[in-house]
Amino acid sequence: MRSYSLFSIVLLCLVILGIDIFAFYWLLSITRPIESEILKNLIYILFWVFTIGLITSILLLKIKLDLVAPERQQLIISKLYGLTVSSFIPKLIFVIVISLLYFSNFMFSQEASLIVIPVIGLLSGFLPFFIILYAIFSAVYRFKVHHISLKLETLPQQFNGIRIVHISDLHLGSFNYKYHILERAVKKINELNPDLIVFTGDLVNNFSWELRGWHTVLKKLKAKYGKFAVLGNHDYGDYSQWATPEEKRINFNEIQEFYIKTDFSLLRNEAKLIEKANTSLSIIGVENWGNPEFKKYGDLQKAMKNVDGANFNILLSHDPTHWSEEVAHHTNITLTLSGHTHGMQAGINFRTKKWSPIKYKYKHWAGLYKENNQYLYVTRGLGWMGFPGRLGMRPEITLIELYKK
């Protein structure tokens, strides 16, 4: 689990206080037309009660974080993220917008500025606040099904119309044992009547104890030809300090055993063949393969060792950077499925248009990509990590239908 020093938390509180001082300065300006001194003083008192309450809450959560058992730390860290983002971002937007308006108030008449600037300023603060609340309390569990249909020359006729459900990045520790929520996603998946279910990693945030009770939920997933999975960067226990190497090994083994309990075939640099009418389709799975700061456990050559006889190849690889580095133009793998990016859990999806700040880190970060006759699909993920919400990037279940061209 990531460690947060007292210094970093105090620094965060000072930054929040600094933004609030600027916000209060502009609040004084936009409330000047209010004639009632009682109302103005009430607004000012509520502003500082909220600020002091927020900073106090963050400091108390830090103290609590150092005292509670690891099982409770994820929930506290999520609260820290939620409190910080829901307060800091709206006030920062408010300060920027109101500053720009006041410094360019030549655009308005003096009478108009007394109305327009305060209204726009307040909207710029309150609107992001309510949007973030929606992202945290509603959108984070509004599972969305994305339908993808591909016509492929290399697909054998025997597998024409095959239905693949792709999910990724469950991060089960973030659900805080709210089994009923993920059961809604399981129901949606089964209603899609999949031939294959594939999971492309990050089952947990870091620890095997996060899996307690979840096997009864994920075991309900049904697919005609089976369920397959690979590991993600969070599944190795690399983001925690362990007392001994043996403790880390036990944690890793328990995560692998979970897949057996849920009837998933965990592919660790290996492949499984699905045969139908003397034709075979291979599901190739590599361990996590990423560029630094992420480790490379994946071995694609090893994974493809026994697939020479397969008529069609599908690769499961957690990190989409793997596709451009080792798969596209280097192999005969037609379809690669990845996750990892979460679409940053924040962005814009409008019809065929999509945008997120994560695009400046990952070339392939959400949706379908094609180079020549090879395809990559990157899901936005089903769970969440860090910020306990999703803004414009709803949790995703992907149905991919393959047809013979």
pLDDT, tens digit, for every residue of 258-282? 999 999 999 999 999 999 999 999 9
User: Which stretches does DSSP call E strand in 104-245?
Assistant: 144-152, 162-167, 196-199, 227-229
Residues 197 and 117 in one domain: no
Distance of CA 231 to the CA centre of its chain: 16
Residues 92 and 122 in one domain: yes
- Model-level pTM greater than 0.85? yes
Neighbours of 193 (CB within 10 A): 12
Residue 43 is predicted with a pLDDT of: 87
Q: For residue range 205-237, list pLDDT tens digits in order.
A: 999 999 999 999 999 999 999 999 999 999 999
Out of 112, 137, 162, pick the residue that ends a domain: 137
Residue 1 is predicted with a pLDDT of: 46
Domain-embedded: residue 313? yes
Domain-embedded: residue 1? no
Element (H, E) at 349: strand 348-350
Residue 127 is predicted with a pLDDT of: 84
Q: What's the residue count for the chain?
A: 405
State which residues of the chain have pLDDT below 50.
Answer: 1
Residues 3 and 157: their CA atoms lie apart, in Å, by: 53
> Quick one: 63 exposed, middle or buried, by C-beta within 10 A (0-12, 13-18, 19+)?
exposed
Range of the domain at 130: 6-137
Domain total in the chain: 2
Domain-embedded: residue 162? yes
Residues 104 and 216: their CA atoms lie apart, in Å, by: 60
Out of 79, 104, 137, pick the residue that ends a domain: 137
Residues 93 and 21: their CA atoms lie apart, in Å, by: 14
Q: What is the CATH number of the domain that holds 174?
A: 3.60.21.10
* Closest listed residue to residue 229, CA positions, set 255, 196, 200, 186: 200
Residues 128 and 161 in one domain: no
* Closest listed residue to residue 376, CA positions, set 316, 330, 307: 316
Residues 367 and 398 in one domain: yes
Residues 318 and 364: their CA atoms lie apart, in Å, by: 12
Residues 162 and 130 in one domain: no
Residues 190 and 82 in one domain: no
Q: Which amino acid is at 242?
A: W
